[in-house]
Structure 1
Amino acid sequence: MGKGRASTVVPIAGEVEGDSRPSSRLRKWGTEARLSSAADGIEAFLADRGFERMPWLAVAMLTGIGLWFILPGPGEWLIAIGLCGVMAGLSLVRLEGDRHALLRNAATGLALMLAAGIVLVWARSTLIGAQPISGPRVAVVEAIVLEREEQPARERVRLIVATRDPLDQIPIRARLNVPAEMDDPALVAGSKFRAKIRLTPPQRAAVPGGYDFAQSAWFDGLAASGSVLEPPIVTGLAGGASGWRSELAAHVRQQVGQYGGAASAAIAATLITGDRGAIPEADAQAMRDSGLAHMLSISGLHVGAIVAIAWLLVVRVGALFPWLALRVRLPLAAAGSGALAGIGYTLMTGAALPTVRACLAALLVVAALSLGRQALSLRLIALAAMTVMLFWPEAVIGPSFQLSFAAVTAIVAFHNSRLVEWLKEQRGEGQLARWAHAGLLLFLTGLIVEAALSPLVLFHFQRSSLYGSLANVVAIPLMTAVTLPALTAGLVFDLLGVGAPLWWLSAKSLDLTLGIAHTTSSLPGSVLQLPQVSLVAALACVAGAFWLALWSGRFRLWGLLPLSIGVSALFLARPADLLIEQSGRNAAMLSDDGELYLLRTSTSFAADAMVEAMGKTPKDGEPFSEFPEWPGARCNGDFCQLQAQGRTLLVAQRPVDVPYGPLVAACARADIVISSRRLPADCRPSMLKADGSLLSRRGGLAVDLESGSYRAVRPEGDSHGW
């Protein structure tokens, strides 16, 4: 062919004219184009949405901490941290420039905060985790009292002591129960004593989903718990740091008790010193069933009320003196007074962790007010939560943290909603109309808070009040406007000997609060009780609630989808067919007609935990049935054989020696064998051998008889310190 002759190039498959690049590059370009288009869409969405960034960062940090507890060990923790790093790195590399700035910042920030949550709780667990003692101990030891808690309602005193492990002779902190008849008033903080005690490692949850004292003890620095077996002998005193709190609690109980009931006096002492040990169990249960239990735990309500009282007192009194108001910035003076009052109240009530968290949050609110900022906002709540998680990341999985921050988040989100704006527009000008509007808002706020807290309450306690919003409409204003001011003023005026009228007012207001609690809790259907709620259902409810609270406009309604799934799962929850307590000495099972049977009906923490997990309530004076009463049960005093859902259970009623041959033969005929002792290897039931060996490694079990599966307190491969 000549130079002037045009040549025709026929495109091959996957190429176009003028482009010799392979088809794979075009497919890659197409993928990149789609990713870029998706990134553009997300960027536009974020730009159009007026949302707070800090709350989402707090949620990511909270999620990271939660993941550390869910994932089994260091390998999985490192993988999660690495994935977060990869996400952050890809966001920085692939989303350069200003075109996708919001998306880049969001992806990077969320990934880094999630990783920070994992690292924070891992570091804290490593630094402060207390290794539990290796086994039970009975010995005479010398100890120093670190804390003393009066518990007259339980006829005992609880001590936190520093001593040595009788076996390994290493320093440990332990929690001891001292029966009232063995107590010595000289056992105050700083005192030294010698006594014969029994120590055991902190107990894991009795059944899956139950309260795990071992986990709490790990982060509290407690290596053991136990009781005093003989009256302690005080050998020295190094000070009485907590004696004044005990004396103050006794003084408050005496003063209020002159004008009100014993329960009112006990609650008054709780509000002033944080000492809950004198509250009768019947009254405490009534407070729980009426939705007023939050008043018995010194938290945001109490600290906020004290701070508000100090703030208003300084502002109102200062405004009465023009020369003072012109020379002193009253908001700053009020902020300082409120901060000092909050800190003082926190110290006076024992500076328990929930109170310290509430105090930190109140101080942030005071700081915002002194700077002329909005007192409560989602950003401020997120900042408070992140501050708490920075110092106490383990608090995230506890009900105190969850309920307090869920309540205040629900309140702020609700009052920022269009419904509240519309209600404000409808408010009349008259005094009566204003009071009616305030009452309606308070009632609606109570409903929102109850709805927000109910999934968490059911997850942790299996019981929730249905009329709590009605009780709180009266009880919260009564507590904040009457009870707390009267109690604090009573202490002040007692210095002048004229505090009697204030103690009378305190007693009557607390009597009224208790009356509201008992009336509400006794109403038909006042308490919703469910069996153990799954973690997945609770997380679905939390995810939906966060979505509703943190977005605005119609887009927030998408949160109703996971919320509805979670709520449905709550009400569809069914109890385990069989629960086996961690020691193997007790078990619980439901019959076809819903009647609960226990291996042993003796009162114990494990038995109570199983009853709650089954969604049952103990009947006054009517104990639950025992396994030998199970329809068709065959028992000989040593073992019981039961039939349930086509399964054969062989249950050891007591740990006795049984001849090897008959035991192996009985195991072969059974699907499940339960024993507190270790059974021989030749004992091979077809489904599950829940003997001392398995239970000591995995803890209590929840068994599904139909599928043959089970859940354990300690998942397989779990390597958390406790």
Structure 2
Amino acid sequence: MLNPMSVMVLFAGEHRRLVLWVPVLLALGALAYFQWPCEPGGGVGCVLPAGVAALGLGVSLYWPHTLVARLGGGGVTALVVGFAAAWLATHTQPAMPELPRRAVEVQGVVRDVAYYPAPAGQGEPVRHVTLVDAVMQDFVDDGMRPLRRSLDIRLAVQDSTPLAPGDALRVRAMVRPPPFPALPGGRDRQFEAWFAGQAGSGYALESVQVEPGLQHPQSGLWLAVDRLRVLVDARIRHVLPGASGSVVATLLDGRASAVPQNIRAEFAASGLAHLLAVAGLHLGLVMGAAMLACRLVLAAWQYAALRWPCKAISAVVAWVVGGGYVLLTGAHLPAERSWMMSSIVVLGLVVGRRAVSMRGLALAATLMLLLAPQVVLDVAFQMSMAAVMALVAGYEVLHPILLRSLSGLRGAGHACARHGAMLVLTSLLAGTATLPVVMAHFGVVQPFFVLANLLAVPLMGVWIMPLGLLALLAMPFYADAPFLHMMNAGVCGVLWLAHKVAGWPGASIAVPAMPGWGLGCVLLGLCWLCLWRGNWRWWGACAVLCGTLTPWLAPQPDILVSPDAQLVGVRDRTAVLVMGHARDVRAITAAWAQALALPVVAFSTAAAQEVENPDGSLICGEEGAEGSCVLLRRGHEVVVRIHDPSDGRASLPQSLCAQADLVLSVAPLRVSCLNVPVRLDRFTAWHAGAQAVFLGSGVRVVTDRQERGERLWVLKPGGHGMPTLPLAQAE
């Protein structure tokens, strides 16, 4: 049993690793803000953290030689700084605007043009434009200020109007705000849109009209980069128009939107989904190829080889090339994190210090959390940090063992064995560390990820990415076609590998949704396992294991209700029985299937029928109530009304409600079943969002509003935002 003194001794022995916990505490502080039940004011969000941080720093400086004071003061300071950084990052974002619920003329400036697969998976890709400085041209919003957020508009299929970043256009479109989560605790697209600067999305009702004379709000570097990305994408699509060409475009300009859904599914099932997300792997391959090429050129020049620091020069050149690649691929957060990490590596090479270390990762994570604290909830940030942390810590422990085991080999055999063993170790460490994160966010486990990466990653490193760099260099001279075709041959090999591995039995195993506290347990346990060096680090493995098992330990909802109350899902042992109709039925049912790890099955209530299983029974058409069902489960009776032509004006039969513990209706209940303890209807969903019903010792209802609270990024009931009213006329 450890006593406080022995704990202090353990901390003292790890004193050089204590600084590595600064980004972890920053992340916990930011997470505390994002999980706050209501929006804190300026006093709690900024003034109080500033005072606590000053007190913590004062304690650390007043007793600099006392470990308890340094740990307590420094830890509290990091926590409140993370909380305050999240509060500031949230409150510096513009408010969500109120978007019209009808067709409207939208005028704006194109910031980006992207291609997406056809909705049904057939036909030509569909263009999407991102508009900034958008203005609604209707009688309500006449004279409004331009939106401070962007709009994503899907153009009409037959629209072939040439567009480029900087063009001003006018289009008649239907727009809507970001959707509410499909279930409590589900993916929060409103949170993502809030920090991405998005107001919503929509689709064009007719062809766009280019409006000359307006200027793009961006200028200089960013406008040039946007236009360059569009030109590169158009050139790749011209040379390689097929599905493999969309993967090539993803690798060279970061536009993964055009990759067909079936290819995405195969990459996910084979454990190769990370190849479609430009991040550390791609940046490392690009910078490695650039550094190798520059080193070879300098080594071939006798004057430079004898007099210049070729290694440092090559590292700086690779860093510049990597920065250009990050800009060309859209400067996404994972790529930015990787480039920050590479900056520290390059600095270490230049000054002769250790290039790859846990301190470099901690510094990169600290910068990211201070500049954009919302990344603490981002799957890409969690996966990249977990993978790199596991790689650095794993190689610290296993690399000496690997070298000793291969010491008996010599020559080419030693080089091949060492390279193969390191490749297996890298895939195993990174894949195992990110496996619980993939389970939490995507609801799948890929058992064959190591085998697939053993073949795909070397092909990416020695063939695909070097040829991609050559193609980009040759593109201004229109000499890129040979390199693109050779690169495409390698991509086709990866596609074939993903297809074959995805077709194996058990290649993708669905798992239920992991609760948030389970993912937090996994990540904290992984930090404990990787950041310490003593034997007590292995306690973290227990936390990781416990968190990984939570999807099967947490209770699953028996009934799910969509945000608009038009869809109801009843969980069965083998499927989710979905009743009703909704506009977003495909997205909602996909989220339900992933959360419950069960297929969705459409269930019709038009005719009288009964479904029995060991958990209970579902009876429809009873008591002459057409379009209504009764669920009997665990001693509870639930009445579900799916179809009501009277919109709630016709009451349900009193005999149907007599023994009910809960009544659920897609229409307003009004005076129906007034004696039932729990009543849920369309008005309830309008106020509270999606709902999950748990039938156990009692009836427990969890709503989306309870899960997310009253926060700035949570839209008002009905999806309403801040009105975009014009300024009052001056008198």
Q: Which amino acid aligns with 1:109?
A: G
Worse-matched range after superposition: 75-84 or 337-346: 75-84
SS of equivalent residue, structure 1 residue 714: helix
Match of 1:715 in 2: 706
Q: Which structure is higher in RCO with an 8 Å CA cutoff and minimum separation 6?
A: 2
Closer, same or farther: CA 684–177 of 1 in aligned 2, 3 Å: farther
Match of 1:614 in 2: 596
Q: Which amino acid aligns with 2:662?
A: I
Q: Which amino acid aligns with 1:200?
A: R
SS of equivalent residue, structure 2 residue 570: strand
Closer, same or farther: CA 644–666 of 1 in aligned 2, 3 Å: closer
Q: Which amino acid aligns with 1:642?
A: V
SS of equivalent residue, structure 1 residue 185: coil
Q: Does 1:674 align with 2:655?
A: no
Q: Distance in 2 between matches of 1:249 and 1:94?
A: 53
The partner residue of 2:237 within 247, 253, 257 is 253
Q: Does 1:604 align with 2:580?
A: no
Match of 2:77 in 1: 112
Q: Distance in 1 between matches of 2:18 and 2:546?
A: 27
Q: Which amino acid aligns with 2:232?
A: L
Closer, same or farther: CA 687–362 of 1 in aligned 2, 3 Å: farther
Query: Which residues of 2 match residues 534-545 of structure 1 at below 5 A?
Result: 534-545=515-526
Q: Distance in 2 between matches of 1:697 and 1:325?
A: 71
Query: What displacement does 1:186 show?
Result: 2.8
Q: Which amino acid aligns with 2:31?
A: G
Match of 1:701 in 2: 691
SS of equivalent residue, structure 1 residue 411: helix
Q: Is the 8 A contact 1:133 1:200 kept in 2?
A: no
Match of 2:676 in 1: 686
Query: Which residues of 2 match residues 655-674 of structure 1 at below 5 A?
Result: 656-662=646-652, 670-674=660-664
Seq. identity, %: 26
Q: Does 1:529 align with 2:513?
A: no
Closer, same or farther: CA 355–667 of 1 in aligned 2, 3 Å: farther
Match of 1:212 in 2: 188
Q: Distance in 2 between matches of 1:479 and 1:215?
A: 34
Q: Is the 8 A contact 2:52 2:80 kept in 1?
A: no
Query: Which residues of 2 match residues 179-198 of structure 1 at below 5 A?
Result: 179-198=155-174
Match of 1:653 in 2: 643
Q: Which amino acid aligns with 1:672?
A: L
Q: Distance in 2 between matches of 1:94 and 1:142?
A: 56
Query: What displacement does 1:232 show?
Result: 2.1
Q: Distance in 2 between matches of 1:116 and 1:547?
A: 21
The partner residue of 1:634 within 617, 620, 623 is 620
Q: Distance in 1 between matches of 2:210 and 2:395?
A: 56
Q: Does 1:472 align with 2:456?
A: no
Match of 2:134 in 1: 163
Match of 2:219 in 1: none
Q: Distance in 2 between matches of 1:363 and 1:254?
A: 35
Match of 1:130 in 2: 95
Closer, same or farther: CA 513–714 of 1 in aligned 2, 3 Å: same
SS of equivalent residue, structure 1 residue 711: strand
Q: Distance in 2 between matches of 1:63 and 1:330?
A: 42
Closer, same or farther: CA 676–147 of 1 in aligned 2, 3 Å: farther
Q: Which amino acid aligns with 1:177?
A: I
Q: Is the 8 A contact 1:51 1:550 kept in 2?
A: no
Q: Distance in 1 between matches of 2:528 and 2:396?
A: 14
Q: Does 1:323 align with 2:314?
A: no
Closer, same or farther: CA 488–716 of 1 in aligned 2, 3 Å: closer
SS of equivalent residue, structure 1 residue 217: helix
Once the two structures are superposed, residues 577-612 of structure 1 have per-residue CA deviations (whole angstroms, 9 ceiling, x without a partner) of 111110111121122x42321014775211221222
Q: Is the 8 A contact 1:164 1:171 kept in 2?
A: yes
Query: What displacement does 1:423 show?
Result: 1.8
Closer, same or farther: CA 78–53 of 1 in aligned 2, 3 Å: farther
Worse-matched range after superposition: 574-583 or 225-234: 225-234
Q: Is the 8 A contact 1:266 1:279 kept in 2?
A: yes
Closer, same or farther: CA 79–558 of 1 in aligned 2, 3 Å: farther
The partner residue of 2:403 within 400, 424, 432 is 424
The partner residue of 1:547 within 528, 536, 539 is 528
Q: Is the 8 A contact 1:51 1:551 kept in 2?
A: no
Q: Distance in 1 between matches of 2:170 and 2:644?
A: 35
The partner residue of 2:556 within 562, 565, 575 is 575
Once the two structures are superposed, residues 192-238 of structure 1 have per-residue CA deviations (whole angstroms, 9 ceiling, x without a partner) of 22222222222121112322111111112222322222222222264
Query: What displacement does 1:121 show?
Result: 1.1
Q: Does 1:295 align with 2:271?
A: no
Match of 1:286 in 2: 266
Gapped runs of 5+ residues in structure 2?
120-124, 217-222, 612-617, 714-731
Once the two structures are superposed, residues 508-562 of structure 1 have per-residue CA deviations (whole angstroms, 9 ceiling, x without a partner) of 2111111111111111111121122111211111121111111113111111222
Q: Which amino acid aligns with 1:373?
A: R
Q: Which amino acid aligns with 1:103?
A: V
Q: Is the 8 A contact 1:128 1:221 kept in 2?
A: yes
Closer, same or farther: CA 230–667 of 1 in aligned 2, 3 Å: farther
Closer, same or farther: CA 283–685 of 1 in aligned 2, 3 Å: farther
Once the two structures are superposed, residues 596-631 of structure 1 have per-residue CA deviations (whole angstroms, 9 ceiling, x without a partner) of 21014775211221222221246xxxx544456652
Closer, same or farther: CA 314–677 of 1 in aligned 2, 3 Å: same
Q: TM-score, normalised by structure 1?
A: 0.86
Q: Distance in 1 between matches of 2:61 and 2:166?
A: 60
Query: What displacement does 1:98 show?
Result: 5.7
Q: Is the 8 A contact 1:310 1:341 kept in 2?
A: yes
CA RMSD of aligned residues (A): 3.0
SS of equivalent residue, structure 1 residue 650: strand
How many aligned positions are there? 675
Gapped runs of 5+ residues in structure 1?
1-36
Q: Distance in 2 between matches of 1:121 and 1:293?
A: 30
SS of equivalent residue, structure 1 residue 133: coil
Q: TM-score, normalised by structure 2?
A: 0.85
